Amino acid sequence: TLQPDYAEIIVLPGKGYEGIGAEQYQAEFDDATKSGTGEIENLVCGDYWANSGPTGTLDDFFEITLNEDISFRLGVITDTTPDGPPGLMWESSRAIKITGPNDIESELVDAVGIDEEWRNADVDYVIFEISGNAGDVFTVWGENDERWEANALGGIFFDPSVSTLFSINEIIQDHETGAVTIEFNSSKGAVYGIEASSDLIVWDELDDGVIGEEEITLYVDDIMGPENKGTLFYRIRKFE
């Protein structure tokens, strides 16, 4: 796996690996970097596995430490279940989750598919949108299905970092209405998007057409701010 310049990735202890030299035994999946119509080139995944416990046991596979403040997309390869030769030890996690700083965590994401054909999973990979600060550590977990010989993931891949995020100067909440006022640096006439998240994993778009004022713009969130009873995070994008 190539390390992105904004993060360091390690495979956590206790995980076996089958990959190079065993490609004929591994699953193939569509190359997520390709677009357009017609046939899409396939890639071959590895097989990171752990001797696990009963169904529902969570195993930590990969740890990602950020080197800078960044937002990026993380792909987790889930399907390691090809039609291989007789005796192949098929294995796969049945669900995926991400945990991060301050005890944030995503929901468990189904990695099998609606038909629940556990030896022929419909889901090849799961995409997460992640934002964090330098030093933040995120962990990729897989949930075991004891019908497999082991709990396993095929690997992870990264989108390039998002360079259009802007720092926020100040966030103030009105304690009576719950509305949140966000102040950020801006350029006059530029178009900005405002997004909010309760876990730094799933982001909801509040507005994609905020017109910037000269130097500083104020945006009032009267949607998620009043509804949210816990911690809420914001980020700003500038559209070119």
Q: What is the three-class DSSP state of 40?
A: coil
CB 188 within 8 A of CB 213: yes
Return the pLDDT at 118.
61
Mean pLDDT of 149-174: 75
E-strand ranges in the chain read: 7-11, 16-18, 28-30, 42-44, 47-50, 58-66, 70-77, 95-99, 109-110, 125-132, 137-143, 151-153, 155-158, 165-166, 168-173, 180-186, 191-197, 204-211, 215-221, 233-239
Residue 231, both tokens: 């911690």
Show the domains of the chain with their CATH numbers. Answer: 7-158 (2.60.120), 165-239 (2.60.40)
pLDDT at 45 over 90: no
Residue 18 phi, psi dihedral angles, 5° rounding: -130, 120
State yes or no: pLDDT of 160 exceeds 80. Answer: no
pLDDT(1) > 50: no
At residue 163 the predicted structure's pLDDT band, cuts being 50, 70 and 90, is very low
**What is the pLDDT at residue 211?**
93
